[in-house]
Amino acid sequence: MGLNGIIPTIVPKTSNGLMKQTAAVSTESGSPILNRKDLIAYFLVAGTGAVVQLICSSLLQDWFSLSFQQSIWPSYLLSLIVGFILTKLFAFDARRTQQTNREMVKFLMVALFSGFVTDMATRFAYFVSNNSFEIYAWQIPLSSKIVNVNQMACYIFGMGCSFISNYTLHKTFTFKSTGFYDRLKMLIK
């Protein structure tokens, strides 16, 4: 191991004899994808985002008379704000990167992809649930709110599928310097 926790890398030469430009990998941020500490931190952060998403979905259904399926995207988008802040601060030790704008663009790209994963997985599970099971409802004690347990289970399944894609992409793309943001800025100019 080199200085300051940096692993030195061998710089290979290209076919024309020039050195390839590579970046050294930090032992902290270059950890394997299934790093236990990152996985637990991300699970807690994603769990908080999931709770926000479920509450927003329920409120949107009640306040604006949206169907279960219509509430998926608006609640997902509302939970993105909480998700980005918590992920940046706690999940991947990215709070001191000084690259917040870059991470926000990449976070939004990953979030849109994962939003489709959530939506498709939830709709698939809902289709299976409606065709295979009876509807089970539960009334929250001391409340008039009735929860459709089938919908809740389908939503949680969809969020679980999204968790896998989110974790992998945020760990390997969003909160890692990939050069993508710089190429995107050059394309826009």
Q: Report residue 93's pLDDT band, with 50, 70 and 90 as the boundaries.
A: low
Q: In whole numbers, what is the pLDDT of the chain averaged over residues?
A: 79
Return the pLDDT at 7.
41
Cα angle 180, 163, 65 (rounded to 5 degrees) comes to 110
> Token pair for residue 29?
């941020």
Cα distance between the two ends of the chain: 40
Record the pTM.
0.71
Q: Which residues are CB-neighbours of 145 under 8 A, at least 6 positions away? A: 58, 62, 139
On the question of pLDDT at 45 being above 70, the answer is yes
Which H or E run contains 7?
strand 6-7
As a dihedral over the C-alpha atoms of residue 39, residue 27, residue 179, residue 101, rounded to 10 degrees, the angle is 60
Buried b (16+ CB within 10 A) or exposed e, 118-156: bbebbeebbeebeeeeeeeeeeeeeeeeeebebbbebbe
Q: What's the sign of the alpha-carbon dihedral 12, 15, 17, 21?
A: negative
Comparison of pLDDT for 91 and 104, the residue scoring more: 104
pLDDT of 67 over the 80 cut:
yes
Structure letter (DSSP) for residue 24: P
**Cβ-based neighbour number of residue 105 at 10 Å:** 15
